[in-house]
A and B are shown apart, each in its own frame.
Chain A
Amino acid sequence: MSAVPTTLARRGVRFRRALHGLLARPGLWLASLFLLFVAVATLWPGLLSSADPLAADPLQAQLPPSAEHWFGTDHLGRDVFSRVAHGARYSILIGVSAVAIGSIVGSALGLLAGLSRGLVDEAISRFLDVVSSFPDLLLALVLISFTGPGTLNLIFALGVAFVPRFARVVRAQTFVIARSGYVEQARTFGLTPTVLVLRHILPHALAQVPILATIGLGSAIISAAGLSFLGMGPQPPAPEWGAMLAEARNYLRVAWWIGVWPGVAITLTVISISILGRRWQASFEGRRAR
């Protein structure tokens, strides 16, 4: 069958339709543009700001925003714009790594539970029930009280807290797909279990994971910033957004700009991620419904 040309043509149509949708929706445009900025700041912050985010200069302390210091300077005279730009690396990488841990471990557990059924499934599902009877943030706090604060420990704690939501979805999907007609049929063809799982169950069971991960990234970034605000993450003088806000809280009376920009950065990043994630989810579900 000539499956290849038709998928290619369909892909072309889909791409054009996506492009058209992008132009019709300014929100999607702005969100993509902003995330591009954040991506540049994460990978190559020097490109956006040449000032050293750690260089203190007491003579330049608490200057309001100006042409020279776009976002002003903080209580130690460090350039706030440069700190926000360099902070993207911490906040984004912590969020992305935590979601990566959560989605990989969660998908593995979910697949295992969905495929094995019986006792293994029961054990995994009950374990997830127990873990998720603690609120995520509190679970992360409990883990940090064992490991101590720090960037890597924060990633680990948040990642573990994110496991159940991925495991649940993947388990449910695997369960349905492993019992569906086409898998039964494939089994009658005499396929080995490995081929059956890898080629026919896995791709469909995991189809939603990237979308869930995108949507979860927003809350991971917020939680990571919150925990860093409490002093559980990167330690000063690291320019992490949450930690910067914790410092800024003490200087609100005299220098509002220290306490505004890191928060703007977090909020805009999370809004942009949500817009893209929701759009992706909607188009995914729409295609499935048709």
Chain B
Amino acid sequence: MDPQNTTAIRRSPAAWLPERLGLKRGGLALQIAARIGSGLLVLWAAVTLSFVSLQLAPGDIVSLLIGEQLRTPEVEATIRAEWGLDAPLPLQYLSYLSRILHGDFGRSYILQTDVTGLVLSQMLPTLKLTAAALVVALVFAVASAVSTAGRRVPRAIAGALELTLVSTPSFWLGILLLFVFSFTLKLFPVSGDRSFSALVLPALALGLSLGAVVGQVLREGLERALEEPFALTVRSWGTSDLVLRLRHCLRHAALPAVTLTGWLVGNLLSGAVITESVFGRPGLGRVTVEAVLGHDLPVVLAVAILSAFVYVALSTLVDVLYLLLDPRLRDESRETGR
């Protein structure tokens, strides 16, 4: 959530176990396995944290789970049975773990439904929104970085634009877009998720400020690549500047930007919570906001664990891809592992 400062972006949780086990010298397969292992450990700890927070929160667990639903002896008995609250604590924990492993996130006592089913049914609109916003962010980042890197005046203009976009709350950008394009020009629908055109404004509102962050990182990388000797070689072939940037330099610049993937998707998912409510779209974000306001903890915890899963899975994947794509990383870790 800190677009102002890319240095604050956290390192991958998958990098930790290999370091601990002294696996820097080990084979590739072992390194990959260790990375996946540490990702799984972080996830297990996240699930455990959610269990512990339920236990430690003030008030008894039944009233936490029940939210603002009326508390009757029957409901209480169902909750006690479903969560096995009469069993000793370690047993409760084990059954909580096994339920989540089986994809069972319990029941929402407010909505009277199965949480897993609810989350799955609301997933599609949110995935559509985040995918569209991701496209917006990447297109903006690449266009802005490629067209302005290394050029003084355009660079300053793009820098100012990016600073403004990063500093604009996405929900306000959404409100402005709504006012201009929906209410005044009547080009796009005001709310809902019925057609493709209903996706355009929300994707812009969510994607632009994230694209500005990626653009900054990408431009820095491009400028470094443009100063490399290989860029001079390519220029000497008589290649046009655009081709040099797109075909030869962009892939060098893309590597540092790829590390942002986990951060980017995490922000897209949590940003969707706000964007969906600006545009009155259905989806996980809407469900989350209603669950938080109504103290519907089973739903909130399910969404949180799901997003931690997505974050850990993606950053582990990026880590493994790095190892596969860039042999230097393996060599480097061998050197520093002395």
Residues of A that sit less than 8 Å from B by CB: 125-126, 129-139, 141-142, 144-146, 148-149, 161, 164-165, 168-169, 212, 215-216, 218-219, 222-223, 225-226, 229-232, 242, 245, 248-249, 252-253, 256, 259-260, 262-263, 266-267, 270-271, 274-275, 277
Contacts and interface: CB of A to CB of B under 8 A. Distances in A.
The 5 tightest CB contacts between A and B, nearest first, are: A263-B172, A136-B1, A270-B167, A135-B266, A137-B270
Given A230-B273, A277-B4, A225 B169 contact: yes
Given A133-B46, A134-B308, A256 B274 contact: no
A138 B270 contact: yes
Interface string B148-179: 00000000000000011011111110011011
Contact of A137 (B1, B172, B297): B1
15 contacts: A134-B46, A137-B274, A138-B270, A142-B304, A215-B5, A216-B4, A218-B4, A219-B3, A226-B170, A230-B277, A259-B175, A263-B175, A266-B168, A267-B168, A274-B163
Contact of A133 (B163, B278, B311): B311
A218 B169 contact: no
Nearest to A272: B167
Contacts of B293: 149, 231-232
B288 A146 contact: no
Given A130-B46, A274-B4, A135 B169 contact: no
Interface string B178-207: 110001000000000000000000000000
Main secondary structure of the interface of A (DSSP, over half): helix
B172 A267 contact: yes
A141 to B, nearest CB: 5
B214 interface: no
Nearest to A256: B179
B4 A249 contact: no
Contacts of B176: 259-260, 263
Which among A161, A230, A245 has the highest number of chain B CB atoms within 10 Å? A230
Interface stretch (B8-16, B111-119, B120-128, B223-231): B8-16
A86 B12 CA distance: 42
B267 A126 contact: no
A227 B168 CA distance: 15
A151 to B, nearest CB: 15
B183 to A, nearest CB: 5
Contact of A165 (B2, B167, B273): B2
B42 A130 contact: yes
Contact of A271 (B164, B269, B307): B164
A226 B170 CA distance: 8
Given A222-B169, A249-B278, A274-B4, 5 more contacts: A125-B16, A149-B293, A253-B183, A256-B179, A275-B163
A134 B10 contact: no
Nearest to A216: B2
B179 A216 contact: no
Given A141-B300, A249-B278, A129 B13 contact: yes
Contacts of A249: 175, 178, 278
Interface in B269-321: 269-271, 273-274, 277-278, 288-289, 291-293, 295-297, 300-301, 303-304, 307-308, 311-312
A271 B273 contact: no
B29 interface: no
